[in-house]
Amino acid sequence: MEKIEVFLGNRSYFINIGSSIFEIENIFFPLKPGDQAMLVTNNIVANMWKSNINYYLNKMEIKVDYVILPDGEVTKNVGSMEYIVSELLKKLHGRDTTLIALGGGVVGDITGFVASIYQRGVRFIQIPTTFLSQVDASIGGKTSINHILGKNMIGSFWQPVSVIVNLDYLSTLPKDQLISGIAEVIKYAIVFDSMFFNWLEENIDFILKLDVKKISYCIKKCCKIKKMIVEQDERENGSRILLNLGHTFGHAIETYLGYGIWLHGEAVAVGIAMSAETSCLLGWLSTFEKNRIINLLHRVGLPTKGPKNMDFSSYFSNFLRDKKVTSGMIRLVLPVSIGKAVIYSNIKDDILISAINRCR
């Protein structure tokens, strides 16, 4: 197992990465015998992994209750939040309880959000089961639920007390979920590390085949980048905004289509393609590097074309609700080269229209 510490003063915590990870003593730290916990998961993950987690929690003499949600992005809403809170109250969970998120980004986001508001804040542990959540969503304390008018519009910053990345979970992950997660990996490389992008070009086929050494390196690399950025800018006032490459376009697609129609990584992949096209039209990103980005997305099996029936006005109305908007001004994260991105405002509509049309 490898432990990566996220340094945030008295809110610091470890990202624990490994196989057979629950065999390790004290892996559920800071839980101790006699503690109370609520495990939140979805029906698909529960069928595969709930009994396994239950075995180890019982072995530690943790008093655990369960909430099992329907699978999918459509679950990340106010109704599910209220249901979890009601179950916590019915089972008499106090301020000393710990919520445990066992699932992908949806489960992690909603569990973290409930932890941030239940009795004004309780502890929570992230146990991510998807590739996307292992490399990105489980780290950094961004929690949220969706609103019908915008993705992740209701939320808070609330750090977990521990992240447990069990590599064994990837063996049962559907292929489309693995591919979706790789979109976030490519995002990291484009924004922060050209050498990592080169490595991905050379090793992407091994990752798609779940080669243990390659995928372990990939997850650890992304976790180290994410931890560095979170330490620099926990509440997304500066450099952490760069992690949103592709997300302004991607969230617009998800909101327009309806949550869960496309996987998050699929929408982000199109967003990355549109961002690259925008930067290329502005004369920043070279055509050669834009094509490298598009080609890598294609090799993974990710889309680079948005919904054909989604016109510019549909994107633009969602852009205005984006969390990066300040004083009514749209800000986009754009790659200027592989390994470097910038936050840019005042992009003319004709540039955005051309970029979107090139990706339709």
Question: Does the active-site annotation cover 251?
Answer: yes
- Judge whether 142 is annotated as a binding position: yes
Of 93, 123, 221, 251, which one is the catalytic site residue?
A: 251
What would the two tokens of residue 135 be?
């490399």
> HSE (CB half, 13 Å, CA atoms) of 60?
23
Report phi then psi at 32, rounded to 5: -140, 165
- Judge whether 278 is annotated as a binding position: no
DSSP 61: T
Question: Does the active-site annotation cover 50?
Answer: no
Of 93, 187, 226, 290, which one is the catalytic site residue?
A: 226
- Judge whether 175 is annotated as a binding position: no
- Judge whether 298 is annotated as a binding position: no
- Judge whether 67 is annotated as a binding position: no
- Judge whether 105 is annotated as a binding position: yes
- Judge whether 350 is annotated as a binding position: no
Of 123, 214, 221, 236, which one is the catalytic site residue?
A: 236
Query: Does the bond joining 30 to the residue before it have cis omega, within 30 degrees of 0?
Result: yes
Torsion, Cα 150 250 197 14, to 10 degrees, reads 20
For residue 65, count other CB atoms closer than 10 A to its CB: 16
Question: Does the active-site annotation cover 331?
Answer: no
Question: Does the active-site annotation cover 142?
Answer: yes
Q: 115 and 122 in contact (C-beta within 8 Å)?
A: yes
Of 93, 123, 187, 264, which one is the catalytic site residue?
A: 264
DSSP 161: S
Of 187, 227, 247, 331, which one is the catalytic site residue?
A: 247
What counts of helices (H) and strands (E) characterise the chain? 13, 11
Of 93, 146, 184, 323, which one is the catalytic site residue?
A: 184
For residue 43, count other CB atoms closer than 10 A to its CB: 13
The set of residues, in sequence order, having a beta carbon less than 8 Å from that of 150 and lying 6+ positions away, is: 251, 255, 318, 321, 322
- Judge whether 143 is annotated as a binding position: no
Question: Does the active-site annotation cover 93?
Answer: no
Of 93, 142, 214, 323, which one is the catalytic site residue?
A: 142
SS3 60: coil
Report phi then psi at 254, rounded to 5: -60, -45
- Judge whether 6 is annotated as a binding position: no
Give the pairing of strands 13-18 and 162-166: parallel
Question: Does the active-site annotation cover 214?
Answer: no
Of 42, 152, 244, 318, which one is the catalytic site residue?
A: 244
- Judge whether 147 is annotated as a binding position: no
Of 3, 120, 213, 308, which one is the catalytic site residue?
A: 120
- Judge whether 234 is annotated as a binding position: no
- Judge whether 129 is annotated as a binding position: yes
Question: Does the active-site annotation cover 234?
Answer: no
- Judge whether 75 is annotated as a binding position: yes
- Judge whether 264 is annotated as a binding position: yes
For residue 200, the surrounding DSSP H or E stretch is helix 194-208
Q: At what angle do helices 287-300 and 194-208 cross, to 10 degrees?
A: 20
Of 123, 227, 240, 323, which one is the catalytic site residue?
A: 240
Question: Does the active-site annotation cover 264?
Answer: yes
- Judge whether 74 is annotated as a binding position: yes
- Judge whether 122 is annotated as a binding position: no
Q: 142 and 193 in contact (C-beta within 8 Å)?
A: no
Annotated binding residues for Zn(2+), written as ranges, equal: 184, 247, 264
Annotated binding residues for NAD(+), written as ranges, equal: 71-76, 105-109, 129-130, 142, 151
Annotated binding residues, written as ranges, equal: 71-76, 105-109, 129-130, 142, 151, 184, 247, 264
Catalytic machinery residues: 120, 142, 184, 226, 236, 240, 244, 247, 251, 264
